[in-house]
C-alpha cells in the first residue's frame, strides 16, 4: 500500500477478487459472480463499525473472520461486537470453540462456505469481517483436506516446538518445506507449527499433500475491501483500544479464563494481550507494563497484517480510506457490491 503525505493511496480498482488457476490474485469481469462481501484490514482500522453500517445498508449478516473471536469467554481482549450489536445484526463464527480447542483456517473455510450458502438462501448478503488473512484465503482459494495426525505424537511434537524461538521455528520450516516456507512464516507461529508437524508426522511436507490431492471445495469469488489508515492514526487507535480494554475489565476476563481451567498456552490464550495480562496476574509485571507491552505487540501485529494484505491481496481489492466519514466508507463498500449484485443501498448514520 502506498501513501502520500501520510495518507493511504486508493487506486481505481476492479470490484471482485479471486484466484486464477495459476494461483495468482486477479480481478474478474461480469456481473453476479460475487458470492460474498469481505471487509478486512489491520487490527484497529475500524472494521467492526464499518461492517455494522454496511450490514444495515445491504441487509447483511456478518461472518467473523477473526481467529480469536471464535473463542468463548474472550470478549474484551478480542473486541467482539457487543451483545446489542449482535442482536441487531446476525453474526456467525463467534463463540464457537473453547480456548483450549484448535480451529484451523481449513475449518473456517468449511464453516464459512456453509454460512455463506445459508445466508444467501435467506436472500441476504454474507459479510466476512476480520483481519485473519488466512481465513480469507481459505474461502478464496481451493480447500484441501489435511492429513490425519496421531494425537499423542502431535502433542509431544507441539510441546517441543512451543519452546523454540520464532527464528528457530522458521529455520525448521525452511528445511522441511521450502516450497511453502514463505507462506507459513508469514502466517505466524501457528501456521509454522502446523507445517513442521505435518512434515515430521507424515514424512511428507504440506506442499506435497496439496499438490497430490484434489480440492475438497472450490474457491469462492467475492468483493474484498481493505480498510487502510496511516500508521500514526492506527497507532493512536490501538492505544485507545488497549486503554479501553483495561478499563472494561480485561484483567477480570483473563482471571475468569484461568480460574475456569484454561492454560496460558491454550490456542485461544496465546495471542497478543492475553499473554501480557497473564504475566501481570502472575505478578511478573504491573498492569501498566502489561498495557504497554500489549500496545507494542498489537502495533507490530497490525504492521505485519498490513504487509500481508499488501503482498497477498490482488489488484481487484477495493481499498477504503479508514479516516473518511463512516458514511463515505460505507458508500464505497456498498457501491462496490452494487456493481456486482445490482442492489440498491443508502448508507446513512443510524
| Beta bridge partner(s), residue 37 | 127, 223
Query: What is the per-residue pLDDT across 130-164, written as a single tens digit (0 to 9) for each?
Result: 999 989 999 988 776 667 777 788 888 888 888 88
How many CB atoms within 10 Å of residue 162?
A: 12
Q: Is 259 exposed, middle or buried (0-12, 13-18, 19+ CB in 10 A)?
A: exposed
Sign of CA dihedral 103, 106, 111, 116: positive
Query: What is the per-residue pLDDT across 214-269, written as a single tens digit (0 to 9) for each?
Result: 566 788 889 999 999 999 999 999 999 999 999 999 999 999 999 999 998 888 89
Identify the pLDDT of residue 346. 58
How many CB atoms within 10 Å of residue 252?
A: 11
Query: What is the per-residue pLDDT across 15-64, written as a single tens digit (0 to 9) for each?
Result: 344 443 333 333 333 334 679 999 999 999 999 999 999 999 999 999 99
Please tell me the distance from the alpha carbon of residue 241 to that of residue 43, in angstroms, as a whole number.
10
Structural domain boundaries in the chain: 3-144+216-341, 151-211
User: Domain 3-144+216-341 is classified in which CATH homologous superfamily?
Assistant: P-loop containing nucleotide triphosphate hydrolases (3.40.50.300)
How confident is the prediction for the chain on average, in pLDDT? 85
Identify the pLDDT of residue 36. 95
Please work out, in degrees rounded to the nearest 5, the angle formed at the alpha carbon of residue 272 by the alpha carbons of 201 and 177.
Answer: 25
Its CATH class, for the domain covering 151-211, is mainly alpha
pTM: 0.77
Please tell me the distance from the alpha carbon of residue 110 to that of residue 143, in angstroms, as a whole number.
8
Amino acid at each position: 500500500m502506498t501513501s502520500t503525505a501520510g495518507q493511504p493511496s486508493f487506486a481505481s480498482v476492479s470490484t471482485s477478487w479471486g484466484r486464477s488457476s495459476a494461483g495468482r490474485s486477479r480481478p474478474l469481469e461480469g456481473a453476479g459472480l460475487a458470492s460474498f462481501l469481505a471487509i478486512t484490514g489491520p487490527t484497529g482500522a475500524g472494521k467492526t463499525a464499518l461492517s455494522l453500517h454496511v450490514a444495515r445498508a445491504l441487509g447483511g449478516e456478518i461472518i467473523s473472520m477473526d481467529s480469536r473471536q471464535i473463542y468463548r469467554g474472550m470478549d474484551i481482549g478480542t473486541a467482539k461486537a457487543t451483545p446489542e450489536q449482535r442482536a441487531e445484526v446476525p453474526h456467525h463464527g463467534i463463540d464457537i470453540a473453547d480456548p483450549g480447542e484448535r480451529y484451523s483456517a481449513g475449518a473456517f473455510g468449511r464453516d464459512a462456505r456453509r454460512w455463506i450458502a445459508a445466508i444467501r438462501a435467506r436472500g441476504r448478503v454474507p459479510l466476512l469481517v476480520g483481519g485473519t488473512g488466512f481465513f480469507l484465503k481459505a474461502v478464496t482459494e481451493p480447500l484441501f483436506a489435511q492429513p490425519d495426525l496421531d494425537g499423542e505424537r502431535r502433542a509431544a511434537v507441539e510441546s517441543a516446538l512451543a519452546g523454540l524461538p520464532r527464528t528457530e521455528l522458521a529455520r525448521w520450516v525452511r528445511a522441511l518445506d521450502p516450497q511453502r516456507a514463505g507462506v507459513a512464516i508469514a502466517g505466524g507461529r501457528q501456521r509454522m507449527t502446523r507445517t513442521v508437524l505435518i512434515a515430521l508426522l507424515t514424512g511428507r511436507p504440506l506442499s506435497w499433500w496439496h499438490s497430490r490431492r484434489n480440492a475438497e471445495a472450490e474457491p469462492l469469488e467475492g468483493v474484498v475491501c481493505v480498510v487502510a489508515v496511516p500508521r500514526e492514526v492506527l497507532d493512536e487507535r490501538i492505544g485507545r483500544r488497549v486503554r479501553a480494554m483495561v478499563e472494561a475489565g480485561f484483567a477480570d476476563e483473563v482471571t475468569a479464563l484461568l480460574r475456569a481451567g484454561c492454560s496460558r498456552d491454550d490456542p485461544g490464550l496465546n495471542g497478543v494481550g492475553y499473554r501480557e495480562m497473564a504475566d501481570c496476574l502472575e505478578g511478573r509485571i504491573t498492569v501498566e507494563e502489561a498495557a504497554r507491552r500489549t500496545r507494542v505487540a498489537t502495533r507490530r501485529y497490525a504492521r505485519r497484517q498490513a504487509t500481508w494484505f499488501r503482498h497477498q491481496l490482488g489488484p481487484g481489492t477495493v481499498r477504503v480510506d479508514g479516516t473518511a466519514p463512516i458514511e463515505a466508507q460505507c458508500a464505497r463498500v456498498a457501491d462496490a457490491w452494487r456493481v456486482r449484485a445490482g442492489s440498491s443501498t443508502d448508507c446513512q448514520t443510524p
